[in-house]
């Protein structure tokens, strides 16, 4: 399974995926999946990861394009150069333009730090803290043209602990996001999960 991963930030979830794939290779239970390229929308994303793991990478910056559509077309062209079977948004903080969704989905997934459809959008963890809920969650979904509205592949409940702030809660959520991410990649790679079926769900 050839995977392209898009990040915008620290890429800690991507690191977890890369390490899981690497360790699966070494302990004879290979997950038949490989990250073939890492892409981002900005110069300050953690592309050191690409260097560290020896993976090609690309930067497609919105500010270099006249509009979202042309940015999206350039992003799609870069992704398609690697002919991925699956594209993962892992902390990618941009809405993917319709042409990109159209071309890649349902083999286009995103992890989100909430129990969707609760707390969609870019500030899910902060919103959960501010809402004072006793539990939130983590989700992995197929990306559609909405904001975190696509078919849910899997989601898990995560408790909010007394004294949690956004950072402590987000770290706890990311641990589960990584499990969802690695689990989904494994299930798609083994054919146990067909993302086209999620679309119909």
Residues identified as active-site: 112
Nearer of residues 13 and 186 to ligand GRF, judged by Cβ? 13
* DSSP strand pairing (135-142 vs 108-112): antiparallel
Per CB under 6 A, the segment of 33-41, 67-75, 107-115, 154-162 that binds ligand GRF is 107-115
Altogether, the residues listed in the chain come to a count of 201
Give the number of other Cβ atoms within 10 Å of residue 31's Cβ: 20
- In the list 72, 113, 137, 150, the residue contacting ligand GRF (rule: CB under 6 A) is 113
Q: How many residues bind ligand GRF (CB under 6 A)?
A: 14
Binding flag, residue 13, ligand GRF (CB under 6 A) = yes
Report helix, strand and coil shares of the chain as percent, to nearest 5: 40, 20, 40
Give, in order, the Cα–Cα distances in Å from 129 to each of 118, 124, 160, 173. Answer: 13, 9, 8, 13
Binding mask 160-199 for ligand GRF (x = CB under 6 A): --------------x--x----------------------
Residues forming the site for ligand GRF (CB under 6 A): 7, 9-14, 90-91, 111-113, 174, 177
């Amino acid at each position: 399974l050839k995977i392209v991963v898009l990040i915008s930030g620290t890429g800690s979830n991507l690191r977890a995926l890369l390490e899981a794939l690497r360790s699966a290779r070494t302990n004879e239970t290979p997950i038949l999946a490989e990250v073939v390229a890492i892409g981002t929308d900005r110069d300050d994303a953690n592309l050191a990861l690409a260097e560290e793991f020896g993976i090609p990478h690309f930067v497609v910056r919105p500010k270099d394009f006249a509009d979202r559509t042309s940015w999206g077309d350039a992003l799609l062209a870069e992704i398609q150069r690697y002919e991925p079977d699956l594209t993962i948004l892992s902390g990618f903080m941009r809405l993917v333009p319709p042409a990109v969704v159209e071309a890649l989905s349902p083999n286009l997934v995103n992890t989100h730090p909430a129990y969707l459809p609760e707390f969609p959008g870019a500030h899910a963890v902060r919103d959960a803290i501010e809402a004072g809920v006793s539990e939130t969650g983590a989700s992995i979904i197929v990306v559609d043209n909405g904001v975190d509205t696509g078919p849910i592949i899997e989601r898990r409940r995560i408790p909010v602990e007394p004294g949690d702030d956004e950072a402590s809660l987000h770290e706890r959520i990311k641990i589960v996001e990584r499990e969802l991410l690695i689990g989904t990649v494994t299930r798609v790679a083994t054919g146990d999960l067909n993302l086209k079926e999620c679309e119909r769900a």
